[in-house]
Amino acid sequence: MSVTTGEAVSHKRPQIRQITTSDVHAALLQGWADFRAAPNFGLFFGGIYAIAGIFILLQLMAWNQPLWIIPLACAFPIIGPFVALGLYEVSRRREENIPLVWGEVLSALWGQRNGQMPFMAFIVLAAFMVWIWFARLLVAVILGRMSFAVYSDFNILFTTGSGLTLLFFGTLVGFIIAFCIFSFTVMALPLLLDRDIDFVTAMITSVDTVKANPRPMLTWAWIVAATLIIAMIPFFLGLIIALPVLGHGTWHLYRKAIAEENIE
C-alpha cells in the first residue's frame, strides 16, 4: 500500500489490460459481495457521504436557494471517490486476507496525507470550483435579466424557457466536467492507494485506461452516474448503500484493468 512521500515515488507507468463489459459487471458483483462481507465499513463511509449531501441540501433550503440544488447535486459525486478510499482499503485487505480492524483501516487512510493523495484532492477541488463557476456563469447569462426572486424558485427550471435552457446547458457542461474528472480519477485513486507512484503518472494511467477501454469504462461511468443520481433522490439516503457497492466495485475494476506490479 502506498504511503511513501517525496522523491521515493515511482514514475513508471503501470501496464494497462484490455477489459470487457463482462469485467465491469463482474466488478459490480464483487463490490456487492464486499459490501455484504463487511457491511459496517460500507455503512460507515456511505453514511458519511449521505450526511454530507443532506447537510448541503438543508443548507441550501435554509438560505432559500433551491435553484442551486441541481448543480451542486451534479457536482456532489466528484467527492465520492475520496470518501470511497476507505472502501478501496477494505477491498484490498479482503483480497489479501488481512484482518479488517477499524484502527488499521483508518490509520492507513490517515497515512495517505503524507503521500500523493493531497495533490489529487487539490486537483479535484479545483475541478469542483470550475464547475461551480460555470454554473454561476450560466445562471447569470441565462437568468440574468429576470427578477432576483426567481433564484429562490426551484420550479423555474421546469416551467420556463429560460429555466429549461439553463437545465440543458448546465447538464451538458456538468457531464463534460464530470467525465473529465472520472477519467483522471477512476484508476488514479486506487492506484495511489495501492502503489508508491506519483499523482501525475497515476492520472495519466487513469486516462489511458479509459482510452484503451472506451466501451467498458463508459459503461462503468454510466453505472456510477445513474446509481448515484437515483440514490440521491430519496433525500440522499440511497447513498448509504450505493457508495460502498460502487467503491468496492471500483477497486475490483482497477484490479482487472491494471496489471500487477512487477517487483524486480
Number of helices and strands in the chain (H, E): 13, 0
What pLDDT is recorded for position 5? 47
What pLDDT is recorded for position 30? 98
Q: Is residue 3 part of a domain?
A: no
What pLDDT is recorded for position 69? 74
Model confidence, pTM: 0.88
What pLDDT is recorded for position 116? 93
Q: Is residue 1 part of a domain?
A: no
Q: Is residue 48 part of a domain?
A: yes
Other beta carbons less than 10 A from residue 138's beta carbon: 21
Q: Is residue 7 part of a domain?
A: no
**Closest Cα to residue 93, out of 41, 47, 143?**
41
Domain count, the chain: 1
Q: Is residue 6 part of a domain?
A: no
What pLDDT is recorded for position 150? 54
Q: Residue 157: which domain range?
A: 13-257
What pLDDT is recorded for position 163? 78
- In the chain (264 residues long), the average pLDDT of successive 10-residue segments reads 57 92 98 98 95 87 74 75 92 96 93 90 86 83 63 70 83 86 94 94 97 97 92 90 96 96 58
Q: Is residue 8 part of a domain?
A: no
Sign, Cα dihedral of 98, 201, 116, 56: negative
Q: How far apart are CA 101 and CA 99, in angstroms?
A: 6
Per the listing, cell 438560505 goes with 63
Q: Is residue 208 part of a domain?
A: yes
